[in-house]
Amino acid sequence: MLDIGCGAGVDTLIAGMMVGREGWVVGIDITPEMLRRADENRTKTTFANVAFQEASGESLPFPEACFDVVISNGVLNLIPDKLKALEEAFRVLKPSGRFMIADQVLITEPSDDIESQIDNWSG
């Protein structure tokens, strides 16, 4: 499993529990401080199947079709070249793989009406 933008590693560590001892999880981030915090959190666990690596979602340093799952929790909206990031995510996914995202993506200009913005955010 690949976690794009692992932050402090919480999602990556949870994924490590989910895949079990037979699976492996890599969390990537472009921020050395976040990677340090994530690895610090990992050392508080017994997970030997979790690693963190500095990388950009726009240029993943992995071979094609090497992950069963790619996840992104609030990161795609921060990546400037979203199309490239999506291409990279699908490049590293196995043909039967799953891409799971939890991101907000703006596809039109937001309304000036605050009530409308709130309704659209939760929809």
Read off the pLDDT of residues 93-113 as tens digits, 9 standing for 90 and up: 999 999 999 887 667 777 788
- The Cα 32–Cα 110 span in angstroms is 33
Strand 50-54 relative to strand 25-29: parallel, antiparallel, unpaired? parallel
What was the pLDDT predicted at 113?
80
Q: What superfamily does domain 2-122 belong to in CATH?
A: Vaccinia Virus protein VP39 (3.40.50.150)
For residue 34, give the nearest of 61, 58, 55 by alpha carbon.
55
- Which strand ranges, in their side-by-side order, compose the sheet holding 50-54? 50-54, 25-29, 2-4, 67-73, 93-102
- The Cα 14–Cα 108 span in angstroms is 34
> Where residue 123 falls among pLDDT bands split at 50, 70, 90?
very low
**Coil, strand, or helix at residue 28?**
strand
Read off the pLDDT of residues 40-94 as tens digits, 9 standing for 90 and up: 999 999 999 999 999 999 999 999 999 999 999 888 888 999 999 999 999 999 9
